[in-house]
Amino acid sequence: GNSVTQMEGPVTLSEEAFLTINCTYTATGYPSLFWYVQYPGEGLQLLLKATKADDKGSNKGFEATYRKETTSFHLEKGSVQVSDSAVYFCALSPYSGSARQLTFGSGTQLTVLP
Amino acid sequence: GAVVSQHPSRVICKSGTSVKIECRSLDFQATTMFWYRQFPKQSLMLMATSNEGSKATYEQGVEKDKFLINHASLTLSTLTVTSAHPEDSSFYICSARYRDRLTGELFFGEGSRLTVL
């Protein structure tokens, strides 16, 4: 079946540090990949997505590249801010281009200190 | 942007009672809504897919008589946890997709934390 393995947290960084949150997946076919973010007390929000191999999703300074050869979709940001503190979820949909029936990773808690 | 709202955000109930959680799409119509459950420090687990005007489709291992899902309109889906027990305590999250759109992102509610005493 489909699965997503995500870097365990919590992750604590100082402001302006480089962030990497690892995500690898198992799926058949050509899944779409997503990163969602959940700020304290709020629902999940789509951060970025990639629908085919070698696609790079980017938003708010965050980036992730769909690597089919390594089945990975690592999240990166060059310089984190305190406001980036949140829980980050990697997810996949088995349907190309669709967000139906998402399979989520376990989530990674990020805390950025001033 | 599209907004999905859940209510209540927190609920505490006694064992044996039933609890209803509402999921509303506030500014769009959602043919399909999804219900997830999240245990502490674990993934979101898809419980069921709720389709407007028809019966929900439950994932394997989810008791349909325990978790009643109703999607009576294009903007409202409800999850009722019947005869709740402490093991039903969890964080429940709904999501919705724009009507008639098979592709694109899902919009999530804020989640509802259920504690059964």
For residue B70, give every residue at least 6 positions away whose Cβ sits within 8 Å of its Cβ, in sequence order, or none: B50, B56, B77, B78, B80
CB–CB of B106 and A46 under 8 A? yes
> pLDDT band at residue A40, thresholds of 50, 70 and 90?
confident
Touching check for A61 and chain B: CB below 8 Å?
A: no
For chain A, give the mean pLDDT. Answer: 90
What is the residue type of A55?
D
CB neighbour class for A95 (10 Å; exposed up to 12, middle 13-18, buried from 19) = middle
DSSP per residue, A22-89:
-EEEE-SS--EEEEEEE-TTS-EEEEEEE-STT-EEEETTEEEE-BTTTTB--EEESS--GGG-EEEE
Touching check for A100 and chain B: CB below 8 Å?
A: yes
Residues of B whose CB is below 8 A from A101: 34, 46, 49
For residue A114, give every residue at least 6 positions away whose Cβ sits within 8 Å of its Cβ, in sequence order, or none: A15, A82
What is the residue type of A48?
L
- The mean pLDDT value for A43-53 works out to 89
CB–CB of B105 and A99 under 8 A? yes
**Which chain A residue's Cα is nearest to B42?**
A106
Q: For chain B, what is the radius of gyration of the CA atoms?
A: 13
- What are the per-10-residue average pLDDT scores of chain B (117 residues)? 88 96 91 87 84 88 94 92 95 82 72 94
Interface residues from chain B to A (CB-CB < 8 Å)? 4, 6, 32, 34, 36, 41-44, 46, 49, 93, 95, 97, 102-111
In the beta sheet, which residues pair with residue B76? B24, B73
Residues of B whose CB is below 8 A from A102: 34, 44, 46, 95, 106
pLDDT tens-digit series, residues A54-104: 999 999 999 999 999 999 999 999 999 999 999 999 998 876 544 467 888
A31 or A81, greater pLDDT? A81
B70 or A30, greater pLDDT? B70
Touching check for A44 and chain B: CB below 8 Å?
A: yes
CB–CB of A98 and B103 under 8 A? yes
Residue B106 has a pLDDT of 82
> pLDDT band at residue A15, thresholds of 50, 70 and 90?
very high
DSSP per residue, B4-23:
EEEE-SEEEE-TT--EEEEE
Residue A24 has a pLDDT of 97
B51 or A18, greater pLDDT? A18
**Which chain A residue's Cα is nearest to B109?**
A43
